[in-house]
Amino acid sequence: MHFVEKQMDRIVISGINTRTSNEQEDSPETEQLPNLWRRFYEEELPKIIPNQTANFAVYGVYSGFDKGAGGDFTATVGVEIRSDLKENMAFPVVVIEGGRYLEFNVKGPMPDSVLNKWKEIWDFFAKTTDYQRAYTADFDVYKAQDEVDIYVSIQD
């Protein structure tokens, strides 16, 4: 599996979020992520979230992990903003702390190519001893309609 190890700076994202788990997302009856993404675009949130940077990418952020990959986590869909001021913000804010990440590039039809890559990533971490997930925040950066970079936080 091809990846690049990177030292990332802090990024602040504002958007909408939900609390879910991989178990919930495995079932069409309980999955929440497709509706979160649908709402993000139907309500045209990239046009109205205040304080955005010039980076026009859309982010999917996974944070607040309970029990690593087996528990609940917060999923946020949003855009990068200039500050993490939570006062008077109409949208939730999540901070992706700087640190070590593995970057995986995905190209192909969405969302299947991203879902398949995440399955490969989970298998990779289940088998490797070279890298351990940090479970601080993982995130997807949607660069184009058919290209995404996935960043997984790793321990120092």
Domains in the chain: boundaries? 4-153
Q: Domain 4-153, what architecture? A: Alpha-Beta Barrel (3.20)
pLDDT, residue 86, reads 62
Q: Cα separation of 153 and 134, whole Å?
A: 5
CB atoms within 10 A of CB 99: 17
pLDDT, residue 129, reads 87
pLDDT, residue 128, reads 87
pLDDT, residue 46, reads 93
pLDDT, residue 87, reads 57
Q: Cα separation of 134 and 5, whole Å?
A: 14
Q: Tell me which residue has tokens 């949003």.
A: 78
Predicted confidence (pLDDT) per residue in 73-100, tens digit: 999 999 999 876 665 578 999 999 999 9
User: Does residue 123 sit in helix, strand or coil?
Assistant: helix
pLDDT, residue 83, reads 77
pLDDT, residue 1, reads 84
CB atoms within 10 A of CB 75: 22
**Which residues of the chain, if any, have pLDDT below 70?**
84-88
